Structure 1
Amino acid sequence: MTQQAEAVFSAEQFLQSRHSVRQYVPGTVISDEELNELLELASLAPSSWNLQHWRFLVIREQANKEKLLPIAFGQQQVVDAAAVVVVLGDLEANKVAEQVFADATPEIRAQMKQQIDGAYAGNERLARDEAIRNAAFAAQQLMLAAKAKGYDTVPMGGYNPQALIEEFAIPERYIPVVMLPIGKAAQPARVTGRLPLSHQTIHERF
């Protein structure tokens, strides 16, 4: 087997190894260094216009994880995980265009800013769609980064977003997209089946 083929095989094995874990070893600590490495890797996710629509609300203090328990309808993983990262989407991501294109020529910077502001102007649906779509890219990347570093995760949509916003003082600019507990599995993940590719794939047109 060639080196390239081995790399592809390893990548396939890695992707197949990621499963959602709902039971975590309590008391596991993730260091600042490890956490920052995960978030840096997650931040390499693609985004429209490179606006990087995500923000990471990191919750590690036990008292704050306990506050998440009723918000997450009693799902114990938010308490037992080493950290819970709430991935937020930026509804006003167009406002960072100046920073994103700071190193571009003045002409390109002005062109991109005009394009982005034009797309966002009066278009709340686009702003919301972009916030959720691009934050989801970062969330998936974070799950893969965690797995690569020996941690497990579970993407959670089962929580009360308004209660989360109120408890953690999330500004109106940001929308909760997904809650991601990160930690060490106490029990192996339950491997779930997948619908056949023939059911999920449409070639060319319906």
Structure 2
Amino acid sequence: MSTSTQTSQSSALFADVIRERRSVRVYDKSVRLTHEEIKELLQEATLAPSSSNVQPWRFLVIETEELKAKLQPIAYNQSQVTEAAAVIAVLGDTEGYKQIGDIIGESVKRGYMTEDIAKSYVERSINVYGSMPEERLHKVLHIDGGIVSQQFMLVARAHGYDTVPMGGYDEDQFKQAFGISDRYVTIMLIALGKAAQPGHPTPRLPIDDITFFNEMPAN
């Protein structure tokens, strides 16, 4: 098979994943995923980019019936919380940058970066993140958390699973109920499982109405 044919087929498969992803709100309660299956999905999701490659995302997997029932009223009684196989809470670690030395050290081991460059990179990153205003740091965490969340939903669809992103929950109650310290910023909840009813397609704005080349319109 030629390279061009392989690329064409891969592109077609990726296009299918994008087009078939739906926000599913009714799940097959009988479907469960093992810890290894969930970790495989998350592992692929974490190939996503992040600011300075800090990878500040953290995941709390809520899968037991007892804990999903505990979460449901906090998530405004959305039925997918208890029906889905699991709910993934995506969090941002405000101290995640402190691990940059380990991350960059691995780059050195693999020959991606010299020790001199790595040392300078780590020192600069620690200084930047350590002095960053809280509002700016939280914005970075939300951006990185949003990127990994979208990648997770596409990965799940590629593996035949369904998801729905959920911003509808009481963040303070959630953190209190699940013992999440202020070190972590909540990004979103993602229900994960198999659809009992398919998510319906939704229209999108015409691309010509939302895309501007080189300058924005006057109003």
Per the TM superposition, whether the score is higher than 0.5 is yes
Q: Does 1:116 align with 2:119?
A: no
Q: Which residue of 2 aligns with 1:107?
A: 116
- Residues 21 and 188 of structure 1 are in contact (CA less than 8 Å); yes or no, is this contact kept in structure 2? yes
1:67 aligns with 2:56: no
1:145 aligns with 2:155: yes
**Number of matched pairs:** 206
Aligned CA-pair RMSD: 1.5
Q: Once the 2 structures are TM-superposed, how far is the Cα of residue 153 of structure 1 from its aligned partner?
A: 0.1
Q: 1:130-141 alignment to 2 at 5 Å?
A: 130-141=140-151
- Are the equivalent residues in 2 in contact too, given 1:92–1:127 (CA < 8 A)? no
User: What's the offset of the Cα at 1:51?
Assistant: 0.7
Measured at CA, do residues 93 and 126 of structure 1 come closer, stay the same or move farther in structure 2, by a change above 3 Å? farther
Residue correspondence of structure 1 range 66-105 to structure 2 within 5 A: 66-103=69-106, 104=108, 105=114
Alignment partner of 1:26 out of 19, 25, 29:
29
Alignment partners' CA distance in 2, 1:94 and 1:33: 27
Is the Cα contact below 8 Å between 1:53 and 1:130 reproduced in 2?
A: no
Alignment correspondent of 2:47: 44
27-36 vs 58-67, which moves further: 27-36
Q: Identity across aligned pairs (percent)?
A: 39
Deviations 1:34-90 (A, max 9, x none): 111111111111111111010010011110000111110010101110010000012
1:142-189 per-position Cα deviation (integer Å, ceiling 9, x unaligned): 101111111100000011111110001112111110100001101110
Normalising to structure 1: TM-score of the pair? Answer: 0.94
Aligned residue for 1:185?
Answer: 195
Deviating above 6 A after TM superposition, structure 1's stretches of 4 or more consecutive aligned residues are: none
User: Displacement, 1:122?
Assistant: 4.1
Give the structure 2 partner of residue 203 of structure 1: 213
Q: Normalising by structure 2, report the TM-score.
A: 0.89
Structure 1 spans left out of the alignment, 5+ residues: none
